[in-house]
Structure 1
Amino acid sequence: MAEAGLEVVLITEDVSGLAEGIVRACPTVRLHTGSVASDVLDRAGKANVVIGLAQTITPELVAATPQLRWIQALTTGIDPLLKLSLSKEVIVTSARGVHGPQMSEMAFMHMLALARDLPRMIGNQRHQKWERWPQRLLLGKTMVAVGVGAISEELARRCKAFGMRVIGISDARTTGEGFDEIRSRRELVATAAEADFLVVMAAYTPQTRHLINTDVLAALPSRAYVINLARGPVVDEAALIAGLKARSFAGAGLDVFDVEPLSVESPLWNLDNVLITPHLGGMSDSYSQQLLPLVVHNLRAFAAGEIDQMHNRISIAATGAGA
């Protein structure tokens, strides 16, 4: 088989599910598995391929794989890899598009919980308090997705099923399934003024750091919620906290933060208009099954020398991170 002799390091906490699928599909691959990079450093010397969540691929692992030619990130974001000073000869591929179902469901959880004030309901249940108030619907509301890609399209389709208006913000796309319209980033501030929910999905790059800044937050209507499922630094956290304290907009649902885990000293924990989830957006109970088709396809293409057929290739050199 084409992949015969290929040595692969797989770093994942769910080693069994993905590893078993790779072995079934590519039985001649020699697979070295571990839940963290340090588990495989002594077996990585001949590896051509490293597969793992971007944040689990360490400088020590890269140094231990002198024959490394390809990294398959099991995440959409690959920003941790930008710090590794990878050779320009190393191919990097991401898991872009795999996370659509779980990320869009997480966005909906935040939208529904914030709109209907679920934390208040849970508090009342704990205190056996019977309190009723008008329930805010998603029907007819406007969701602005900052960043348009496969995940945002999954979310947009679900929003349309709920009768919502959907606007995207992107400089790379002008159309997308489920979107009523897509506008450029230069229209972000003006578009924020129309939002009931500003859902941040943009990839984290130097250009998107603090994309959601004081100007964007100040433009939000008092009824609007910010939901960040991208990376913490895409939103200016200090400006966000100031806006939440001033109640210049309704609140926020936050799954990502500048520093994770979120410090116990962060004021975000104690704000009553914030819903916090601990970076759960990309997780699912079927993640190995979701990843397997992509990983197997790319393994077979790489082994056959068909690099141009590999999915989700990313140019590290274009970011200035190449060695």
Structure 2
Amino acid sequence: MTNLLILRPLKDNSVQAIKRCAPNFNILTSTDGLSLDELKNVEITVGWENNVGEQLLQLKEEGQGILNWIQTYSAGVDDLDLKRLKENNIILTNASGVHASQISESVIAMLLSHYRGILTAHKAQENKTWERIRLNDLALKKMLIVGTGNIGRQLAKVASAMAVDVYGVNRSGRQLPEFNKIYPQKEIDDVLPTMDIVISILPLTDETYHLFNSQRFEKFKKGAVFVNVGRGESVDTSALITACQSDRIDFAALDVFEEEPLPNSSPLWTLDNVLITPHISGISINYQEKFMKILLENLNAYKEQLPLPKNVVDYTLGY
């Protein structure tokens, strides 16, 4: 009997569901005291932990281990050595899709906090100041969603229902029904000047690193709104700070950063037109339930030696 090693804390009912789904696997729920023989016989991991993962990969490379499939607990896989996994013919699946509803809600909340004056009203309340301010509408704004995966598509649905004019950018320009139009990434500079709102939901790859740099921020419409809920490294932080300090970006809402936690010394903390959340836009008390649906669907296929149906990572694309 080979081993399935759980590397994330899971509720007992989730562990029991895995055991029912995979009765022919020995389910290991802790790395404490694992023997070399147990590590050699790990075929599947649920989640990933670098120290144990390194041991599993070394055993695989030495011809002693049988690691064959990693199901990550997160959507992003940029913290794994994809080249090495590919070389060892290891299947990698992620949790893409589990964040879609909550991140979409977070983005809308961020935008409404700006356009409907919620942040300003809260500051006035703290000072016991009755202050009527000039407000704006989210409706009829032109929104560009850069990254049209599960999260981008869900956000497009929600924003469209609020009368937002939604466009998208992806690598190929492949059209999707949730968007008015999707542009290929190579044309992003042509469309940025026409957009009121730019949302980054990008994974981290060689192509997306610092995609939003000083030259790109210069393409933004004057007074645009920028939201990043993808990866912090897709944005050149220094360039973003400069854009926020000028009149190029009127408001920025940031949930992810190049360095996390965001250092106390970062100027972003003190900019009046920046909203900071500590990488929480995807958090939900329902996260594990959503994750388990992906895992069990894949596990059912795996035990029948069928191709995994959900979220297989393309090593060439990096997601």
State the TM-score, normalizing by the size of structure 1.
Answer: 0.88
Is 109-118 or 122-131 further displaced after alignment? 109-118
Residue in structure 2 matched with residue 96 of structure 1 by the alignment: 96
SS in 1 for 2:122: helix
Distance 1:41 1:265, change over 3 A: farther
Residue in structure 1 matched with residue 152 of structure 2 by the alignment: 152
Q: How does 1:259-270 map to 2 (within 5 A)?
A: 259-270=259-270
- Alpha-carbon distance in 1 for matches of 2:239, 2:103: 25
Is 178-187 or 25-34 further displaced after alignment? 25-34
Q: How does 1:1-323 map to 2 (within 5 A)?
A: 5-16=1-12, 18-34=14-30, 39=32, 42=35, 44-52=39-47, 56-64=48-56, 66-82=65-81, 85-86=84-85, 87-306=87-306, 308-316=307-315, 318=316
Gaps of 5+ in 2: 60-64
- Show structure 1 runs of 4+ deviating over 6 A: none
- Alpha-carbon distance in 1 for matches of 2:83, 2:27: 23
- Alpha-carbon distance in 2 for matches of 1:230, 1:7: 33
The Cα shift of 1:206 comes to: 0.5
The Cα shift of 1:292 comes to: 1.2
Contact 2:117–2:133, Cα closer than 8 Å, also in 1: no
Is 139-148 or 62-71 further displaced after alignment? 62-71
User: Which string of whole-angstrom CA distances, capped at 9 and with x for unpartnered residues, describes residues 9-63 of structure 1?
Assistant: 11224444532432344444422224xxx657556442111111xxx52044331
Structure having greater relative contact order (Cα 8 Å, sep ≥ 6):
1
Distance 1:27 1:288, change over 3 A: farther
- Alpha-carbon distance in 2 for matches of 1:96, 1:11: 18
- Alpha-carbon distance in 2 for matches of 1:262, 1:41: 36
SS in 1 for 2:155: helix
Is 89-98 or 159-168 further displaced after alignment? 89-98
Distance 1:267 1:18, change over 3 A: farther
User: Which string of whole-angstrom CA distances, capped at 9 and with x for unpartnered residues, describes residues 177-221 of structure 1?
Assistant: 321101111221221112221000122101111111212211222
Is 215-224 or 14-23 further displaced after alignment? 14-23
Number of aligned residue pairs: 308
Distance 1:189 1:11, change over 3 A: same
Distance 1:302 1:141, change over 3 A: same
The Cα shift of 1:69 comes to: 0.9
In structure 1, give the amino acid aligned to 2:27: L
SS in 2 for 1:219: coil
User: Which string of whole-angstrom CA distances, capped at 9 and with x for unpartnered residues, describes residues 276-302 of structure 1?
Assistant: 111112211101111112101111222
Contact 2:22–2:303, Cα closer than 8 Å, also in 1: no
CA RMSD of aligned residues (A): 2.2
In structure 2, give the amino acid aligned to 1:185: Q
- Alpha-carbon distance in 2 for matches of 1:126, 1:237: 30
SS in 2 for 1:314: coil
User: Which string of whole-angstrom CA distances, capped at 9 and with x for unpartnered residues, describes residues 55-102 of structure 1?
Assistant: x52044331463211111122211111268334321111112222111
In structure 1, give the amino acid aligned to 2:74: T
SS in 2 for 1:48: strand
- Alpha-carbon distance in 1 for matches of 2:108, 2:33: 38
In structure 1, give the amino acid aligned to 2:44: V
- Alpha-carbon distance in 2 for matches of 1:223, 1:230: 22
- Alpha-carbon distance in 1 for matches of 2:81, 2:92: 10
Distance 1:300 1:22, change over 3 A: same
Is 65-74 or 278-287 further displaced after alignment? 65-74
Distance 1:48 1:196, change over 3 A: same
- Alpha-carbon distance in 1 for matches of 2:33, 2:211: 38
State the TM-score, normalizing by the size of structure 2.
Answer: 0.89
Contact 2:193–2:219, Cα closer than 8 Å, also in 1: yes
- Alpha-carbon distance in 1 for matches of 2:54, 2:33: 11
- Alpha-carbon distance in 2 for matches of 1:291, 1:58: 20
Gaps of 5+ in 1: none
- Alpha-carbon distance in 1 for matches of 2:54, 2:173: 34
